[in-house]
Amino acid sequence: MQIFRKGADTTARVLLVLGALTPLAGVGFAYAFHRASYTTGDARTPRQPVPFSHAHHVGGLGLDCRYCHTSVEKSRFAGMPPTETCMTCHSQIWTNAAMLAPVRESLARDEPLRWTRVYDLPGYVYFDHSSHVNNGVGCTTCHGRIDRMPLTRQAAPLTMAWCIDCHRDPTKALRPKNAIFDLGWTPPKDQDEQGARLAVRYHIRLRHLTDCSTCHR
């Protein structure tokens, strides 16, 4: 008497293989999900009270980053400009633009504009702008071609793997002092040698860059 159907053997084999593959696929999915821009926020462009364009102000007009982000060289925080900085020019140009109404209201009411943070690091990360900018890491290394962004976009995954990638070997990103705020900077052909030379000149203690307490404290 035949108990099993004719294809039962095949079904059992397929199920066995699937049973073995499912956990692997699960791990693969979790890995991909963890790194996906959906999770990391890479390429995220949050809505802002005013659609401020770095492409216009930096790429078009040529304003230096430090014109608005005044504390980037001396503080952990790069500095968000007070409304007064916007009005330095916009008290005279585009004075009736509807787009700038929130800026004028902010000045009139003496209330700050509430921008949405684009680079939103977790609370346990102690990032310092000044120690990067003063030691050879340029703006675009983390912020991308901000001078080409009509709306400010997160241009890096900001995962720990991404941070550590540079902390393990910063020489590939190190720039001379006069190129830190140069948005078009690309590494020269001899970046390996130049980066190594710059690491010495900036007194970067390469071995300590991956210490836990460098970023977490």
- Least separation in angstroms between residue 94's CB and another protein is 8
Q: What is the DSSP letter of 146?
A: G
| Of 33 and 77, CB closest to another protein | 77
| Of 22 and 116, CB closest to another protein | 116
Which residue shows structure tokens 């948005």?
183
16 φ, ψ (degrees, to nearest 5): -65, -45
**Token pair listed for 129:** 């702008």
| Of 59 and 170, CB closest to another protein | 59
User: What b-and-e string marks burial along 9-28, b requiring 16 or more CB atoms within 10 Å of the CB?
Assistant: eeeeeeeeeeeeeeeeeeee
Q: Distance (Å, rounded) from C-alpha 78 to C-alpha 180?
A: 14
Judged by CB under 8 A, the chain residues 84 through 113 that form the site for another protein are: 84-85, 87-89, 91-93, 112
| Of 9 and 64, CB closest to another protein | 64
Selected binder of another protein within 2, 122, 203, 207 (CB under 8 A): 122
Selected binder of another protein within 1, 123, 186, 203 (CB under 8 A): 123
- Least separation in angstroms between residue 175's CB and another protein is 16
Contact 186, 76 (CB under 8 A): no
| Of 139 and 199, CB closest to another protein | 139
23 φ, ψ (degrees, to nearest 5): -60, -40
213 binds another protein (CB under 8 A): no
- Least separation in angstroms between residue 209's CB and another protein is 22
200 binds another protein (CB under 8 A): no
- Least separation in angstroms between residue 19's CB and another protein is 32
Nearest 5°: the CA angle 96, 102, 108 is: 85
Q: Distance (Å, rounded) from C-alpha 124 to C-alpha 22?
A: 34
Judged by CB under 8 A, the chain residues 29 through 88 that form the site for another protein are: 61-64, 66-67, 70, 76-77, 80, 82, 84-85, 87-88
Q: Distance (Å, rounded) from C-alpha 162 to C-alpha 144?
A: 14
Hey, CA dihedral for 109, 110, 115, 117, is it positive or negative?
negative
210 binds another protein (CB under 8 A): no
**Site residues (CB under 8 A) for another protein?**
61-64, 66-67, 70, 76-77, 80, 82, 84-85, 87-89, 91-93, 112, 114, 122-124
